[in-house]
Amino acid sequence: METSDISNAIASAIASPTVVRAVGSGTWLHGGPVENDATATVVKPRGGVIEYTPGDLVISVHAGTTLEELSATCAVSGQMLAIAPYGSPRSTIGAVVATATAAPLAYDDLAIRDLVLGLTVVTGTGDIVRVGGKVVKNVAGFDLVRLNTGAFGTLGVITEVNLRLHAKPSMDHVVTGTLDGSPWDWVPRLIANRAPLPMLVRLAPDEPAQLFARCTGNGARASALRGIMQSYGVRNAFTVGPSDTSSAHEQVPMIAALRHVPDHALVLRIRTELSGGDAMLEHVRKLLPDATLLYNPSRGSVRVVTDPGHEDDVLVEQIETQFGRTPVHYSLVAEQGAPPRHDTSHVHAPIKRAFDPHGVLNRRRATFTPKPYVR
């Protein structure tokens, strides 16, 4: 749908009254009352490139453009969007922005928040709002770009996205190997990392911990980074990413597998201070011996992928009470736009009301109820 169609759809929804639900490729629509509302009007922004000037390393696309299409377009000019989020390459950029989904092995540890320059958003009043710009630095006016990033479509439907791209470095490898011993041994070494080395540890039941690191730069730097990675005690290291300049990591099965979650899995994301990473891994492992843990040492975050037999709020409570360490932040990727667990409601509710006064857009859940990640 075009931006103006979406604006009209929202205007009709206000009049009817009914609700509107933004959809990308629909790869992650579980959870949340809006989806279950059979009367919702579905609005699906169109895809396609609007403007791309490789010399500026900036691209403007319609929100329905998939990550696959986006990387294929940029690759022709030796450029890339510096994220590699969990989920499917069929995900749309609009949804990636709306969910601010994190990336396990993003180039230079960048997040989508760092890469969105401007947005066109249709608010809950049907207004078409263009915020930010098309240049890599802009601070003109209040930052509604950041506000809509990660808002799960509750403040507006994103229809156009301006993105900052990066030129591909001459080498871009993902190197993997195993780590011996318990997290007590290797976590402190990983967090003390001083090199620009995005890393991810995969801890599957009954398997040794496996470290992935994205080693980029010119030849000398990429191999030095590989050496640094091995100095953490990594054994049997080998390159899984493309060893030439193509850096099409999406196509590498082992990395695709990292980003994929089995059907009917429950995904929890947990974050603690960097120095609490080892204790947290140990704790979650004891609580959920069958879960697969994906640990990012530079952000102190863990994705816990487990089966949906667990009730997620019970799990969170168990983790919270038994871990007993503060500050720890929990949130559930199992849910769309879970309500804030901390008391900031006196700002959050008015923000929602300001942009969606009729309550027609994706809603935040009113209560914290279990909702497994089921595909």
Instruction: Enumerate binding residues for ligand FAD (CB under 6 A).
Output: 21-29, 45, 63, 86-88, 91-92, 94-96, 98-102, 152-153, 157-158, 261, 267, 269, 333, 336, 362
What distance in Å separates the CA atoms of residue 161 and residue 214, rounded to the nearest whole number? 26
Residue 351 makes contact with another protein by CB under 8 A: yes
Cβ burial 47-82 (10 Å sphere, 16+ → b, else e): beeeebeeeebbbbbbbbbbbebbbebbeebebbbb
Q: How far is the CB of 292 from ligand FAD (least distance, A)?
A: 10
* 79-80 and 166-167 beta bridge pairing: antiparallel
Least CB distance from residue 109 to another protein, whole Å? 11
Least separation in angstroms between residue 58's CB and ligand FAD is 20
- Calpha distance 352→340 (Å, rounded): 13
Residue 373 interacts with another protein (CB under 8 A): yes or no: no
Q: How far is the CB of 179 from ligand FAD (least distance, A)?
A: 22
Q: Which of 222, 234, 267, 293 binds another protein (CB under 8 A)?
A: 222
Rounded distance between C-alpha atoms, residue 164 and residue 81, angstroms: 7
Helix (H, G, I), strand (E, B) or coil at 320: helix
Q: Scanning residues 135 to 164, which ones bind another protein (CB under 8 A)?
A: 135-147, 149-151, 155
256 binds, among another protein, ligand FAD, none (CB under 5 to 8 A by kind): none
Q: Which is nearer to ligand FAD, 29 or 191 (CB)?
A: 29
Give the separation between CA 189 and CA 202, rounded to whole angstroms. Answer: 16
Minimum CB–partner distance for residue 296 and ligand FAD (Å): 11
16 counts as binding another protein under rule CB under 8 A: no
50 near another protein, rule: CB under 8 A? no
Q: Which CB sits closer to another protein, 66 or 360? A: 360
Per-residue contact flags (x/-) with another protein for residues 117 to 136, judged by CB under 8 A: ------x---xxxxx-xxxx
Judged by beta carbon distances under 5 to 8 A according to partner kind, the member of another protein, ligand FAD, none in contact with residue 113 is another protein
Q: Single out the segment in contact with another protein by CB under 8 A; choices: 166-174, 234-242, 256-264, 287-295.
A: 166-174
| Contacts of the segment 272-277: beta carbons below 8 A, 24+ positions apart | 272/300, 272/325, 272/327, 272/328, 272/329, 273/300, 273/327, 273/328, 274/191, 274/298, 274/300, 275/188, 275/191, 276/300, 276/325, 276/328, 277/183, 277/187, 277/190, 277/191, 277/302
